[in-house]
Amino acid sequence: MKVLVVFYSMYAHIYRLAEAIAQGAREVGGTQVEIRRVPETLPEEVLKKMGAVEPQKAFAHIPVCKVEELASAEAIIFGTPTRFGNMCGQMRQFLDATGQLWADGALVGKVGSVFTSSATQHGGQESTILSFHITLLHQGMVIVGLPYAFQGQMRIDEITGGSPYGASTIAGGQGERMPSENELAAARFQGKHVATIASKLTK
């Protein structure tokens, strides 16, 4: 049973969550977990101006995803930073190249799940995840979120990401905040939860 974690990240917040998601999924026996990043679409000079060149080195070793790879997994967990309350353009472009998979029904019945990151606490994490789900539903995927069984999303003693829709982190206006222990725990929970459900569906 294969779980694919597919992400885009500019300053490594989503990458950190992706590693935690993968860690959680690996806890489920018989699960093979692979992490992939979607292709960058911005020119190098724009990435330089945005201060993304150094942070992106942290995950340069992760292979770039080919759309056909999506068909080989039983579950796919997507990670995207928020862009104006929506998924980032790099992820949108990647998904818009999955028309053949849609035509073949290649993703029908697979488990789909989403996690995200935003600069601010109320900057659109929920809208990013929920609007992402629309694409997954068009592909016939079975949506899985982050149930309240992950109690850490009830916390009000500290600022934290994480909602029933999926794991998330709050990066700060300058990207100065990295995922907290609670947010990483949410990501591990989501990874394990998705892998557990996918393994039941594939029996």
Residue 117 sits at the vertex; the CA angle it makes with 115 and 119, to the nearest 5 degrees, is 165
Q: Per the structure block, which two tokens stand in for 163? A: 């909602």
Nearer to ligand FMN, 10 or 107 (CB): 10
| 26 sits near ligand FMN (criterion: CB under 6 A) | no
Residue 153 Cβ, how far from ligand FMN at the closest point, in Å?
A: 18
Contact code string over 86-125 relative to ligand FMN, x by CB under 6 A: -------------------------------xxxx--xx-
Asked whether the beta carbons of 170 and 177 are under 8 A apart, the reply is yes
Residue 167 Cβ, how far from ligand FMN at the closest point, in Å?
A: 13
| 175 sits near ligand FMN (criterion: CB under 6 A) | yes
Residue 147 sits at the vertex; the CA angle it makes with 172 and 86, to the nearest 5 degrees, is 40
For residue 117, how far is the Cα from the chain centroid?
9
**Exposure b/e, 69-86, CB count within 10 A at least 16 = b:** bbeebbbbbbbbbbbeee
Determine the Cα–Cα distance for residues 164 and 149; give it in Å rounded to an integer: 10
| 20 sits near ligand FMN (criterion: CB under 6 A) | no
Nearer to ligand FMN, 10 or 76 (CB): 10
| 9 sits near ligand FMN (criterion: CB under 6 A) | yes
Positions in 55-74 near ligand FMN (CB under 6 A): none
Instruction: From 7-15, 33-41, 92-100, 180-188, give the range in contact with ligand FMN by CB under 6 A.
Output: 7-15
Determine the Cα–Cα distance for residues 50 and 146; give it in Å rounded to an integer: 31
Chain contacts with ligand FMN (rule: CB under 6 A): 9-14, 81-85, 117-120, 123-124, 171, 175
